[in-house]
Amino acid sequence: MQKLFLFFWKNHFTVLFIVLEVIAFSLLVSNNSFQQSRIHESSVTIAGTVYQFQHSYTQYLGLTEENEKLRQSNSELIQAQLNTKNQRQNVHGNFQVIPTLALSSTYQQENNYIIIDAGKSDGIKPASAVISTDGAVGIIHSVSENYSSIIPIIHGSSDISARLKNSSYFGQCKWGGIDPKTAELENIPNHVEIAEGDTIVTRGSGGVFPPNIIIGYAQESKKNESSGFQTVTVRLATDFRKIHSLFVIINSLKPELDSLINQTEEWTGE
């Protein structure tokens, strides 16, 4: 204690200076609104910087949950969009969208497949359409209790009814079997002029895919003079090398459509 007093006495000039300045500073801050607001401003800036720094690290902790929420809201939006489109045009179906995650997928084989983490218990039915946020992906093949397999567009037996967006001529979209970035649109009459970049969408005729889901964009077309039909190379909208979030579209009116098609076929067959 004595040493402390001694220290203060030895440095009494500096100590007195600091004390007086502290008093003056507190007078300044408590009586001048400008300086006061500046101090508030600085403290907010400092606190903000610290919290931002903290946030930049802690935000990753909630990322899985956040992604789940985003998928959910995305699926709701897609569903709403599909169903309003249908109201404006003819009724093609009543669509329900289920968000899922791809567990495994291939793109280098002749017959590629995708496995997703939703199955019968989530309401997935075989022969339902699967899309990503970029465009069409494929069709559900088989469904187990909690998982489902998808036949993507890049599968040897994939066959999706597609049409040109701006001319409504339609054909079959198949995969050439080599490049996971392109597919082929067949059976388009030779006289239809196709420009590079023309959008190719689903036709929605079988009740599987909703109409007007983007499949891809025309790259080039080869006209076959003997058959009278051209084959269009389509640059796929979905990148099958980066499959992650997928949405399964269940059409609740499909059974009705299927039975009607069956009846018609039986009748024509007779």
Partner 1 sequence: MDRRIITLTIQFIGLVLIQVLILNNILFSNLLNPFFYIYFILVLPVDFRPSVGLIVGFLLGLSIDVFSQTLGMHTIATTFAAFCRPYVLSYMAPRDGYEFSRLPSVKEMGWLWFGTYSAILTFLHHLILFFVEMFRMSGIFNTVLKSLGSTALTVILVLIIQLIFARRTSTSYE
Contacting positions for partner 1 (CB under 8 A): 12-13, 16-17, 20-21, 23-29, 31-32, 34-35, 38
CB of 6 to partner 1, least distance (A): 16
The phi, psi pair for 74, rounded to 5°, reads -60, -45
Q: In this complex, which beta carbon is closest to partner 1, that of residue 14 or of residue 109?
A: 14
Tell me the three state secondary structure of residue 11.
Answer: coil
CB of 12 to partner 1, least distance (A): 6
Q: In this complex, which beta carbon is closest to partner 1, that of residue 46 or of residue 260?
A: 46
Q: In this complex, which beta carbon is closest to partner 1, that of residue 8 or of residue 110?
A: 8
Residue 51, number of CB atoms within 10 A of its CB:
11
Q: In this complex, which beta carbon is closest to partner 1, that of residue 43 or of residue 259?
A: 43
Instruction: Read off the tokens for 13.
Output: 């000039």
DSSP 222-270: EEETTTTEEEEEEEESS-GGG--EEEEEEETTHHHHHHHHHHHHHHHH-
CB of 53 to partner 1, least distance (A): 21
Q: In this complex, which beta carbon is closest to partner 1, that of residue 27 or of residue 261?
A: 27
CB of 28 to partner 1, least distance (A): 3
CB of 45 to partner 1, least distance (A): 11
DSSP 78-100: HHHHHHHHHHHS-----EEEEEE
Q: In this complex, which beta carbon is closest to partner 1, that of residue 24 or of residue 103?
A: 24
Would you say how long the chain is, in residues? 270
Instruction: Read off the tokens for 173.
Output: 């979209």
CB of 87 to partner 1, least distance (A): 58
Tell me the three state secondary structure of residue 119.
Answer: coil
**For the chain, where are the E strands, in sequence order?**
95-105, 114-116, 129-131, 136-143, 148-152, 160-164, 170-174, 182-189, 199-202, 214-224, 229-236, 245-251
Cβ–Cβ under 8 Å, residues 207 and 251: yes
